[in-house]
Amino acid sequence: MEADFVIVGAGSAGCVLADRLSGTGASVLVIEHGGTDAGPFIQMPGALSYPMNMARYDWGFRTEPEPHLGGRRLACPRGKVIGGSSSINGMVYVRGHARDFDHWAEAGATGWAYADVLPYFRRMEHWHAGGQGGDPAWRGSTGPLHVTRGPRRNPLFHAFVEAGRQAGYELTPDYNGAKQEGFGPMDRTIWRGRRWSAATAYLKPALRRSNCGLVRALARRVVIEAGRATGVEVDRGGRVEVIGARREVILAASTINSPKLLMLSGIGPGAHLADHGIKVIADRPGVGQNLQDHLELYIQMAASQPVTLYRYWNLFGKALVGAQWLVTRQGPGASNQFESAAFIRSRAGVDYPDIQYHFLPIAVRYDGQAAAEGHGFQAHVGPMRSPSRGAVTLGGADPATPPAIRFNYMSTPQDWQDFRTCIRLTREIFAQEAFRPFVRHEIQPGPQVQTDDEIDDFVREHVESAYHPCGTCRMGAASDPLAVVDPETRVIGVEGLRVADSSIFPRIPNGNLNAPSIMVGEKASDHILGRPPLPRDEAVPWSHPDWQTRQR
């Protein structure tokens, strides 16, 4: 079995690559360990808490004990299904801020500044404003990825945005347009009431071509002969075989599995590979390093009116929502319920937003456990640019052994200061007049949590991953000893091998990572095909005129 291109991972970027490469007539094989995305748990947006907690769809990774979080081991879900994490995520669509990508270019990822990537965001999008305003000139209208907004029928969605305005913050009609900073509607990858994953947008159309195939197997390592990648060794149905690549092997296996595969293939920190008895082919100390994530807290309020989703949080209510969705693709099941959002700056002197909010009209955890208080609502809040860095390392030389994942969360004083700020700013927003008709009292952290030490204790016990891992195969200049891939996504030191997924991000961008991961697939496909990049777009994004002296 062989093809021109062999892609490992049918996730957000891998699906894009399968479509764009096979669309030129080249033969493509995609290796994916997971199975089908059929079924309501994935396709119904309102069921989003289920797939990321199901072993059928999730790799089930957990971190090593995190030393700054009291030794807690945090969940690190990654999609094990076609569509990858775009099939199990919260469907929130955030490009990232322009300055994020400018930083990439400044860090050595030449050609990845915002002016370079904006045309690719446009190419991938089919944006539907839904009459809620926005920035059409900044958005795409013909791409395969449908991006929509929720109906925002619940009054709490409007109360959140109005409270932000009352607190003195900016409003934004489109945080994916010229102006990220402010409160406004949230974009999501939902179309006609169902999840619009990378598998639906890209992979399924590609698989209708005779030159694109999907192989269900566990990738064990990249086969490298005389310094060139020639195929991928896989375990398929209990048999080890090699799938040959005539032109290139492309890893798009996630921030966790892409560095693991490189190391199993002899590409990584030489001493670490030697410890596991792996022959070193390319000593790249940056492989597995630079691991980043977003952490978040749920600031929960008890509601004084029964306007929240809690009324469906019983067997009958869930059955009703499910039945309505199955028959009509409408109702609460047709939304991820993230319909209002905000990006703000934590303090004066910060030039672009460094705090993100997801607002949710129910008090519930990601594992689907509702707050005991009953009716309530919450804001997910967290800093965007933590200076903490972790690593993915091998748990053993056996490909079936999970890697060791250490984020090293909350390892700097800035992390703690940022979360204290997040909690205090959120409390101020919930104290605005717009929420007065809806707030009964604070559930968590709770009014007894006020001092820095009390807040730190709450953070240590309750902070959770926002599930945005990235950075472990960092893109940079070919001369950078810690870079893993060059700005054309080629693995430095090996021919015919690339990495194209969230692992190549030099630094984590603002917001959720599905959109930039898909963008990486789009841009990498042009590099792989030897095409000139899309022309730069020098549009100038909005920046707060008084950012140096004002927080809002």
Q: Is 545 within the bounds of a domain?
A: no
Whether residue 203 contacts residue 19, with contact meaning beta carbons closer than 8 Å, is answered with yes
Same domain? For 268 and 167 the reply is no
Pick from 419, 439, 462: which residue ends a domain? Answer: 462
Same domain? For 452 and 490 the reply is no
CA distances from 430 to 348, 376, 384, 433, 437 (A): 21, 12, 21, 8, 11
State the CATH number of the domain containing residue 162. Answer: 3.30.410.40
Same domain? For 374 and 320 the reply is yes
pLDDT band at 132 (very low <50, low <70, confident <90, very high): confident
Q: What is the pLDDT of residues 381-399, one digit of tens each?
A: 999 999 999 999 999 999 9
Q: Is 468 a catalytic residue?
A: yes
Asked if the bond preceding 445 is cis, omega within 30° of 0, the reply is: yes
Same domain? For 195 and 212 the reply is yes
Give the mean model confidence (pLDDT) for residues 139-164: 97
Same domain? For 5 and 104 the reply is yes
Q: Kindly report the number of other CB atoms within 10 A of residue 272's CB atom.
A: 17
Whether residue 358 contacts residue 44, with contact meaning beta carbons closer than 8 Å, is answered with no
Exposure string for 354-392, b = 16+ CB within 10 A, e = fewer:
bbbbbbbbbbbebeeebbebebbbbbbbbbbbbebebbb
Output the pLDDT for position 134: 82
Q: Is 389 within the bounds of a domain?
A: no
Output the pLDDT for position 441: 95
Output the pLDDT for position 368: 65
Output the pLDDT for position 318: 92
Residue 473 class from Cβ within 10 Å (0-12 exposed, 13-18 middle, 19+ buried)?
buried
Q: Is 432 within the bounds of a domain?
A: yes
Give the mean model confidence (pLDDT) for residues 361-373: 76
Q: How many CA atoms lie within 13 A of 28 on its CB side?
A: 30
Give the mean model confidence (pLDDT) for residues 309-322: 92
Using the predicted structure, report yes or no on whether residue 365 has a pLDDT greater than 80.
Answer: no
CA distances from 441 to 354, 368, 450, 498 (A): 27, 22, 15, 52
Q: What is the pLDDT of residues 471-495, one digit of tens each?
A: 999 999 999 999 999 999 999 999 9
Residues 6+ apart with CB under 8 A from 22: 28, 206, 209, 211, 212
Output the pLDDT for position 129: 79
Paired with 475 in beta bridges are 485
E-only strand ranges, 322-457:
340-344, 355-360, 376-383, 391-393, 404-406, 439-444
Same domain? For 507 and 423 the reply is no
Using the predicted structure, report yes or no on whether residue 372 has a pLDDT greater than 80.
Answer: no
Give the mean model confidence (pLDDT) for residues 180-209: 98
Same domain? For 243 and 117 the reply is yes
Give the mean model confidence (pLDDT) for residues 193-213: 98
Using the predicted structure, report yes or no on whether residue 366 has a pLDDT greater than 70.
Answer: no
Rounded to a whole number, what is the largest CA-CA distance in the chain? 70
State the CATH number of the domain containing residue 497. Answer: 3.50.50.60
Same domain? For 443 and 421 the reply is yes
Least confident of 58-67, 358-367, 542-551: 358-367
Classify the phi-psi angles of 131: left when phi > 0, otherwise alpha if psi is within -120 to 50, otherwise beta: left
Q: Is 506 helix (H, G, I), strand (E, B) or coil?
A: coil
Output the pLDDT for position 350: 98
- Alpha-carbon distance of 126 to 62, in angstroms, equals 35
Q: What is the pLDDT of residues 430-467, one digit of tens each?
A: 999 999 999 999 999 999 999 999 999 999 999 999 99
| Long-range CB contacts for residues 154-159, cutoff 8 Å, separation at least 24 | 154/307, 154/308, 154/309, 154/339, 154/361, 155/307, 155/438, 156/307, 156/308, 156/359, 156/361, 156/377, 156/438, 157/339, 157/340, 157/359, 157/361, 158/340, 158/434, 159/434, 159/435, 159/437, 159/438
Give the mean model confidence (pLDDT) for residues 538-547: 97
Using the predicted structure, report yes or no on whether residue 119 has a pLDDT greater than 90.
Answer: yes
Output the pLDDT for position 532: 97
The answer to the question of whether 90 is labelled as a binding residue is yes
- Alpha-carbon distance of 350 to 547, in angstroms, equals 6
Task: Measure the N-to-C terminal CA separation of the chain; round to a whole number of Å.
Answer: 58
Question: Which is nearest to 78 in space by CA: 221, 236, 201, 252?
Answer: 252
Q: Is 551 within the bounds of a domain?
A: no
Whether residue 521 contacts residue 505, with contact meaning beta carbons closer than 8 Å, is answered with no
The answer to the question of whether 89 is labelled as a binding residue is yes
The answer to the question of whether 91 is labelled as a binding residue is yes
Whether residue 473 contacts residue 465, with contact meaning beta carbons closer than 8 Å, is answered with no
Number of domains in the chain: 2
Give the mean model confidence (pLDDT) for residues 2-26: 98
- Alpha-carbon distance of 488 to 197, in angstroms, equals 25
Question: Which is nearest to 282 in space by CA: 2, 488, 487, 499?
Answer: 499
Phi, psi of 179 (to 5 degrees): -125, 100
Whether residue 145 contacts residue 189, with contact meaning beta carbons closer than 8 Å, is answered with yes
Give the mean model confidence (pLDDT) for residues 333-360: 97
pLDDT above 70 as % of the chain: 99
Give the mean model confidence (pLDDT) for residues 334-343: 97
Whether the predicted model's global pTM rises above the 0.85 cut: yes
Same domain? For 94 and 117 the reply is yes
Same domain? For 349 and 279 the reply is no
Same domain? For 227 and 109 the reply is yes
Active-site position among 33, 103, 358, 468? 468
Residues 6+ apart with CB under 8 A from 312: 318, 320, 321, 332
Give the mean model confidence (pLDDT) for residues 359-375: 81
Using the predicted structure, report yes or no on whether residue 130 has a pLDDT greater than 70.
Answer: no
Q: Is 8 helix (H, G, I), strand (E, B) or coil?
A: strand
Using the predicted structure, report yes or no on whether residue 194 has a pLDDT greater than 90.
Answer: yes
Q: Is 222 within the bounds of a domain?
A: yes
The mean of the pLDDT values for the chain is 96
- Alpha-carbon distance of 58 to 70, in angstroms, equals 26
| Structural domain for 22, as ranges | 1-146+190-288+471-533
Q: Is 396 within the bounds of a domain?
A: no
Q: Is 519 within the bounds of a domain?
A: yes
Same domain? For 59 and 129 the reply is yes
